[in-house]
Amino acid sequence: MTQTASPSADTPYQNPLIERYASREMATLWGPQRRFRTWRDMWIALAESEQELGIDISDAQLDELRKFRTELNLDVAKEYERIRRHDVMAHVEAYGDQCPNAKGIIHLGATSCFITDNADVILIRDAMQLVARRLAATIDAMATFAAQQRALPCLGFTHLQPAQPTTIGKRCTLWTYDLVLDLQEVEHRLKTLCARSAKGTTGTQASFLQLFGGDHDKVRKLERRVAEKMGFEQVYSVTGQTYPRKVDAQLLDALSGIAQSLHKIATDVRLLASRKEVEEPIEKHQIGSSAMPYKRNPMRSERICALTRYVISLQSSPAMTAATQWMERTLDDSANRRLVIPQAFLAIDASLVLMQNIASGFVVYPKTVTHNLAKELPYMETENIMMRAVEAGGDRQDLHERIRVHSREVAERVNAEGLPNDMIERLKNDPAFSAVEFSNEINPLDFVGRAPEQVDEFIAEQIEPIRKRYSDGDSLSVEVTV
């Protein structure tokens, strides 16, 4: 008889974003300790600002609030929430238990969204700054690889069919530029992020106006002072009960943009790994398959695709939330935002850590790259041959048709019969090309145009300014578990 564990022995579901994927730094940022400390920061900032503007709040009361800023009694708050069914008031009461002298001035004049929304924009700001640093570190690693491979010719593709050659480094700049554009968007969102500050229950500041005896100037000063204590220079001009939920939609657009870029890069790496040209780093004892010991699966890239697909799917939730806010606010945004915003950041964080790891350890197989290109180079040479034949007096349209017919015959020979590509020999024997002097050897670098120079210019114009802006930051290298 099979024995099963008793219900009491079962463990609850664990979020893989926390358990397996995201960095400790990002996971901690969205954890309860950080969130509820930030709530207490907001209560302290409010009380300090109210005292500075003449409200009867003593230094002893403020000192008591500060004393218990980080000594969270979360178990007490949890019990209060079970009874009150209100998270903010549960924490007000729990904080008040620790600060009996200051209990009466905690949350004075404020609504719940003063705490939750202002704390959220602080956490979003810090998370966006971490994402920006992760992006900069990934961009730096990508650009280093592009510079190393600036002049290694490889087969280019359009429609996933062989096309004009490029270089490994130039292809990498395409990946990197997407991330550069994402970083610009993240920096823009950081620049335009504001505090909600002290706006009141429906955004009218009525409770604060009453608190200050009808003094509009003091209410305005309170709003600015609280924002400054939060580290913000600007506040949202007008709000309902919450800061504009349009901001969340724009935030997820930016995170989805990063996800789109990373998914594209990781997909290309998977395709190149299939061609045996470029691989992500493979650990010495890494197992690719439980059944096939020889497998070298691109596991990091596959994980990036999985995580970023998830972020892209989250993009619609804040957009729908912003579209369905009723009048000054409805509460159906709350549970959705608790899920979507932290998890989008956690998944992007994990994906960027993985991509930086891959970019820092790309494995290139130049001989395979050259071999794969060589098989297609005779086709590439036909354009130059045709132009030389035109210069010698040939009819361009007739020459084009002859090359097309030869190409079809060669493709049949190569694909169906497994024989070598004899395109150049066919053209040498075609009377229409008799005036052309054929080269003895095809040089792949003759077909990559300005690709190496474009890599150099891209790094100088786009990457060096980013390296300079983030030069004081940590490289943010994080150990990756596959």
Q: Which are the catalytic amino acids?
A: 159, 289
Provide CB contacts within 8 A for 259, sequence distance 6+.
307, 308, 309, 311, 312, 347, 348, 351
Distances (CA, A) of 237 to 42, 75, 408: 20, 37, 66
Distances (CA, A) of 301 to 63, 282, 307: 51, 12, 10
Residue 325 · residue 245 · CB < 8 Å: yes
Q: Indicate the angle between helix axes 246-274 and 168-192, nearest 10 degrees.
A: 170
Residue 257 · residue 178 · CB < 8 Å: no
Provide CB contacts within 8 A for 452, sequence distance 6+.
150, 151, 167, 169, 170
Residue 69 gets the label, from left (phi > 0), alpha (psi -120 to 50) or beta, of: alpha
Which pair of tokens denotes residue 42? 């907001």
Residue 122 CB neighbour total at 10 angstroms = 20
Residue 358 · residue 281 · CB < 8 Å: yes
Half-sphere exposure of 383 (CA within 13 A, CB side): 8
- H/E run at residue 410: helix 396-411
Residue 352 · residue 135 · CB < 8 Å: yes
Residue with tokens 């030389």, as numbered in its chain: 388
C-alpha 192: how far from chain center: 18
What secondary structure letter does DSSP report for 105?
G
Whole-angstrom distance, CA of residue 86 vs CA of residue 88: 6
Whole-angstrom distance, CA of residue 74 vs CA of residue 71: 9
Residue 389 CB neighbour total at 10 angstroms = 23
Q: For the chain, how many residues are written?
A: 482
> What is the SS3 assignment for 19?
helix
Which pair of tokens denotes residue 411? 């493709």
